[in-house]
Structure 1
């Protein structure tokens, strides 16, 4: 008998093939959706067992759950979302502060509700019920927590080791939040009042935040070597971020590069600030290239709370203070302008000079147009000028109509005079 003859047992219309080997063991094989042929990972004692195994493979293919057997599959098919989230945050390359925020959001808001569910079993209804329980009074935190959850699911969908085909986070707009307050950029008059009210060692901070669009973390890390008055340049290469500390009352700060390459930049100094910078370097900055421009009184980096006390007082004097809505005498209200908001003022002034969007992106240190566009505001003086210009159209039309009526009356008056009379000469007698 020819080798192999009589060993194959395949029925027409069935999935895969079943072979009886010379040893008497049964082998099952099939063609996968990718066109490659695969064998069962083990042999079977009966053809019925082999057919039952092939039916499970065919079911996985129909449900689009099939994976090539050469891909490592987790031994636990009930992979929990909590286990995958832990692995995700461990393997992700994140900044220390970002990792700390993600850790807090997972522990407080995500894992208690979703961690014990198999990741493949979580559907859109589960996400909707979970999202509805998040505190709506903290819309920014709510959006960020949802965005983190959605990011983890997106990674799982692209992971061939995870039995998940679709991200269940599909609530439209849940990952975005509207701006909690409308930022009203400071006018030049308000800026002048704020600067004159601040202590002398902090005045240059407000001016650089406005005219050079620098952030607080960038300002507090500026050193003498970062200022080039000859070329009138500020070199922004580093910033200070505050990290969460396990020890209460102890602040942990870290000097790091900006988030993106666009954050590393040279910013031109407006000429009217050169003398102010010279005076500040002389009166408030130690000698040496590494001396901080705005150090704390005890040395080291300036704490936000130290600056904020003086900032609030300056905002009150400038009229940028929102009174409290409650009757609680302890609630004194809040400033409706922050140091970071002065970047908006700087962006408006730069835009009024005719700067292009790309030039504004470079000056603000943004890598995307959308981020720079958030700093664009209509200057009140410019809007007033537009309104006046619009009124001139109506005045022009009114003037044209008046001139037309005057000419028409003049023509009519000339036509109605008696023959032989004029307006200058009396008729002869």
Structure 2
């Protein structure tokens, strides 16, 4: 029987008559490989010792792990490169919906993307978008659409790319980023130029507000008065229920308050109830005393007895939310009727909107001596710049301001009968 040749240290022969090469490295034994001939095994062992001496030796298991990691990285990169900006937008908006963002907010984001961003970048891979691309897009949008549209659209785009990097708050740990860094990095891109009210912008007089209210369907007239004297948005008017009417104080000194807790929105879908956009929007607003009789008459004639009954339901026989678009059409018709009777040409309220009622109320409140804090509390304003100086006004002071305004309210008592 032929005797097996003596093998050098680091080489042994297994049962399959193959030659296994092993080497010690950093206190551990590593298998270099298995070879058919002893010559190949000796050559592999010599190479391993040489690499070890030069400090370049990498254990084969580690090499294989590196190769697998590289292949996974290449696969992930390929998957990233195949995803378009349209795909990213859909994923981001779907995540926002799952997180409970309001339908109106998602609708606004979608409009920004579809109107201003997708036409240029929608079909492009997310990984191909650069900071230079975003900067050029922003500069053109600002030039074409102005400093009102461009910053708002940019904020939407910036938030979408922040989601893509995985830096958005509340993302799960399993989230796989689409990109490593956001290309939305335009210095001052989110800054808007403050709009200043001019003397040419109409502020409706008490008489004009009363005339518009008189031209509304009787069960909707009070809404114009509440907007024009309590500075309510149209959605806040339509969101009022019987339980939102609160009375405080003693007889003879009683103050009536409107609790603003919800609003009706119609953007993106049918009319629905949403909470105010910010905490500041949830507030109590005093009703001027001279407007209280009209409010009480409305509650008696048009509002159900249940606490959840809407002040301005869609139909008298039900309790479904009124569509803001329908209510706005009625307002526009009543406004146009007032303008048609105007001797001034063009009419002073030409193009006057329902939101103009809110502006008119806040203007009169400012003229009555309200501080910035009073105005913000009364109106429910909240934005990044004003949060630092925001303070809640005292209820007594708001009530006093409402009474000052009430002195100017001559016609409201006779509008609704």
Instruction: Identify the TM-score tier after normalising by the shorter chain.
Output: 0.5 to 0.7
Paired position in structure 2 for 1:289: 307
Is contact 2:210–2:225 with CA below 8 Å preserved after alignment?
Answer: no
- Where 1:235 maps in the other structure, the secondary structure is strand
User: Structure 2 CA distance, aligned partners of 1:357 and 1:180?
Assistant: 15
1:355 corresponds to = 370
Q: Within the alignment, does 1:23 sit opposite 2:30 as a pair? A: yes
Tell me the CA shift for residue 208 of structure 1. Answer: 0.8
Alignment match, 2:102: 95
User: Do 1:128 and 1:171's aligned partners in 2 also have CA atoms closer than 8 Å?
Assistant: no
Q: Distance in 1 between matches of 2:179 and 2:268?
A: 35
What CA deviation, in whole Å up to 9, does each residue of 1:284-331 have, x standing for no partner?
A: 22333232212234643223343334323433354499x999xxxxxx
Tell me which residue corresponds to 2:276. 258
Q: Does 1:238 align with 2:256?
A: no
Aligned twin of 2:210:
192
* 1:280–1:123 CA distance, 2 compared to 1 (3 A): same
Q: Does 1:170 align with 2:186?
A: yes
Structure 1 residue 113, shift from structure 2 partner: 3.3
CA displacement 1:80-105 (0-9 Å, x = unmatched) = 45344443333333212222343454
SS at match of 2:352: coil
- Rounded to whole Å, the distance in 1 between the matches of 2:118 and 2:57 is 38
Which of the numbers 380, 395, 401 marks the counterpart of 1:365?
A: 380
Q: 1:284 to 1:351 in 2, by over 3 A?
A: same
- Partners of 1:131 and 1:297 in 2: CA distance: 46
Task: Choose from 209, 213, 229 the match for 1:211.
Answer: 229
- SS of alignment partner, residue 271 of structure 2: strand
Structure with the higher helix share, 1 or 2: 2
Structure-2 separation of matches of 1:143 and 1:369: 14
Counterparts of 1:47 and 1:122, CA distance in 2: 43
Larger RCO, structures 1/2 (Cα 8 Å, 6+ apart): 2
Number of matched pairs: 311
Moved more, 286-295 or 100-109: 100-109
**Match for residue 134 of structure 2 among 103, 127, 142:** 127
Distance apart, 1:106 and its partner CA: 3.6
Preserved CA contact (<8 Å) 1:146 1:175: no
Judged with a 3 Å threshold, the aligned counterparts in structure 2 of structure 1 residues 279 and 177 are, in CA distance, closer, same or farther, namely: same
- Following the alignment from structure 1 to structure 2, what is the Cα–Cα distance between the partners of residues 306 and 133? 36
Give the conservation status (yes or no) of the 8 Å contact 2:245–2:257.
yes
Residues 157 and 167, structure 1, Cα contact 8 Å, conserved in 2: no
Deviations 1:236-261 (A, max 9, x none): 1121111534xxxxxx2221222222
- Distance, in Å, in 2 between the alignment partners of 1:185 and 1:52 is 82
Q: Which runs of 5+ in 1 are unaligned?
A: 1-5, 9-18, 27-43, 54-68, 246-251, 326-333, 374-429
Root-mean-square deviation (Å): 4.4
Name the CA shift for 1:101/1:309 in 2 (closer, same or farther; >3 Å).
closer
Structure 1 residue matching 2:77: 3-state secondary structure: coil
| Inter-partner Cα distance in structure 1 for 2:74 and 2:159 | 21
Instruction: Provide Cα deviations, 1:208-252, integer angstroms capped at 9, x if missing partner.
Output: 11221111111112122221245411111121111534xxxxxx2
SS of alignment partner, residue 304 of structure 2 = coil
Work out whether residues 197 and 317 of structure 1, in 8 Å CA contact, stay in contact via their aligned partners in 2.
yes
Out of 314, 319, 334, the position equivalent to 1:314 is 334
From 341, 345, 352, the equivalent of 2:360 is: 345
- Taking the aligned partners of 1:342 and 1:74, their CA distance within structure 2 comes to 59
- 1:336 is matched with which residue? 351
In the aligned structure 1, how far is the partner of 2:261 from the partner of 2:204? 27
- TM-score, scaled to structure 2: 0.60
Greater shift after overlay, 350-359 or 204-213?
350-359
Check the 8 A contact 2:134/2:183 in 1, yes or no. no
Counterpart of 1:275? 293
**Bigger CA radius of gyration:** 1
> Structure 1's 177 and 284: CA in aligned 2 closer, same or farther, altered over 3 A?
same
Q: Structure 1 stretch 142-151 or stretch 274-283: which is displaced more?
A: 142-151
Flag structure 2 segments of 5+ consecutive residues without an equivalent. 1-22, 34-46, 59-68, 168-175, 248-253, 390-417
How far 1:272 sits from its partner (Å)? 1.0
**1:147 maps to which of 126, 131, 155:** 155
